[in-house]
Chains A and B, each alone.
Chain A
Amino acid sequence: MQIFKDASVSQFWIMLVFCTIVYVMIRRAKAGMKVPPIRKINGLEAIDEAIGRATEMGRPVHATPGLGDISSSETFAFWGILGHVAKLCAKYDTRLIQTNRDEYIYAINEEIIKQAYLEAGRPDAFNPDDVRYISGWQFAYATAVLGIFQREKVAANIMIGYFYAESLIFAEGGYQAGAIQIAGTTSTFQLPFFIAACDYVLIGEEIYAASAYISKDPVLVGSVIGQDWGKIAVFAFIIVGTILANVQAQGNWLKDILSK
């Protein structure tokens, strides 16, 4: 009897192995066993500095998850940071303008920010008009964000998520407005733009470590360590695969197994 869909057996087992690695690390952390710390990530450390600067200048902070939709893992990474940013803004009484191009994400962001203000003991300071749905169209959204940068003179611009061509429009617009800029994405096409135009950049997987890094929760940190072990396993596969591809003249058992 066929259990697996064609060409999905190896995918399933690889997924299961990764799940096990991450799960074991989470269990170890939950059991109170020692979990290695996450290295210093400058981009995440700079969030407090950026909001502090905005507070001193009396100007707002802007945050965007980019163009990723609700199913993007990058959007979840943004949510890991948004609660922290909103709490700091509420604590320092700094205005937070949060813009969106997706209606779903807008609704969730509003809830996250509202909850953060509540937890900071400043529910009255929450302004629903500062969490904005702009447009589902890429450049209409970019245009509106540029307008906000110029009109509101934002002092800090936090861009974490999945970005397309609007990345540089945001980054340059923020630079011209004199904002300190923290960006993060997994899009390798947009990373060079961010690196050229922003003060701090979270590269690739660093954005996924944000919630663990900020909360310092050992269970979340454990999952990041599991993620690192998974990465080591993948690189071991690459090295073994490269050796086999060069040594064996015909056929490659590793490739055959992974193709099933």
Chain B
Amino acid sequence: MRKELPLLLTVLMALLVIFSYYSFHLNKLDILGTTDKWVTISMTAAVLIGTINLTRVQATNVIRRKEGWYNSLILLIVLYGYMILGLIQGLKGAQYDWLFQNVWVNCDSSMFSILAFYIASAAYRAFRVRSKEATVLLVAGIIVMLGNVPLGNLLWNQIPLVRNWIMEVGNAAPMRGILLGAYIGAFAVALRILLGIERAHLGGGN
């Protein structure tokens, strides 16, 4: 029953959702809207599971005085302190909002900005001329970069056109091919789950 019950529930819900989407009459009943609400409710409950795991892992670090245990302690203080502050003040509370705008937003933006440096280091490795493919990548990359800045137009006024052709033809065609294959692959996965063949998500491989 450990695997059969989840499989049965999956098949029943999948069929309900599929027919609700296509059927004129079932669509009027707004079954999809109802199931969306169920998902939202269960997701709220799942937050608790995540919080318990986070607390257990970080508390273990603190109790066992593992390397960098003070970071875990800070995390726990912030996690529960901010949660309590939110419960007392609500989402529009002055201190609650101040901490979000002046701490959280800045930390998030800092991490996002690190991407610029990572792009530079990844591009350096990718553009090193080691093979014919890397050479094509290097040439295409230089044209696209030059096409995006005024300098490219200054060097040769056709560069923006070449850049557009690379992006809209050379780049878009394989991207669409990859996406088509991916959509059909996703469809086959859905069918495998519906037929109970794909059971990896139930544990113990297939």
Residues of A bordering B, CB below 8 Å: 2-6, 8, 11-12, 15, 18-19, 22-23, 26, 73-74, 76-77, 79-80, 82-84, 87, 103-104, 106-108, 111-112, 114-116, 118-119, 128-129, 131-134, 136-137, 139-140, 142-143, 151, 165, 168-169, 171-172, 186, 188, 191, 193, 195-197, 203-205, 207-209, 211, 215, 217, 219-220, 223-224, 226-227, 230-231, 234-235
Contact = CB atoms under 8 A, between A and B. Distances in A.
Contacts of A171: 118, 122
Contact of B193 (A6, A76, A129): A76
B65 to A, nearest CB: 15
B205 interface: yes
Contacts of A12: 22
A106 B122 contact: no
A132 B57 contact: yes
Given A73-B186, A196-B123, A234-B180, A129 B112 contact: no
Contacts, number: 192
Given A5-B21, A5-B22, A83-B205, A132 B122 contact: no
Contacts of B203: 83, 111-112, 114-116
Contacts of A19: 191
User: Which of A2, A103, A128, A171 is the most central at the interface, judged by chain B CB atoms within 10 Å of its CB?
Assistant: A103
Contact of B115 (A83, A169, A195): A169
B84 interface: no
Given A4-B22, A168-B119, A217 B206 contact: yes
Q: Which of B47, B107, B181 has most A Cβ within 10 Å?
A: B181
Given A191-B178, A223-B192, A196 B122 contact: yes
Interface of B: 18, 21-24, 27, 42-43, 46-50, 53-54, 56-57, 60, 67-68, 107-108, 111-112, 114-115, 118-119, 121-123, 125-126, 175, 178-182, 184-193, 195, 197-198, 200-201, 203-206
Given A2-B24, A119-B205, A188-B175, 17 more contacts: A79-B201, A103-B47, A108-B201, A119-B204, A131-B53, A139-B108, A140-B107, A169-B114, A169-B115, A197-B125, A211-B198, A224-B188, A230-B184, A230-B188, A231-B184, A234-B180, A235-B180
A84 B119 CA distance: 32
B66 to A, nearest CB: 10
**Consensus secondary structure, chain B interface:** helix
Given A83-B205, A132-B53, A217-B206, A73 B189 contact: yes
Contacts of B192: 22, 220, 223
B205 A23 contact: no
A76 B53 contact: no
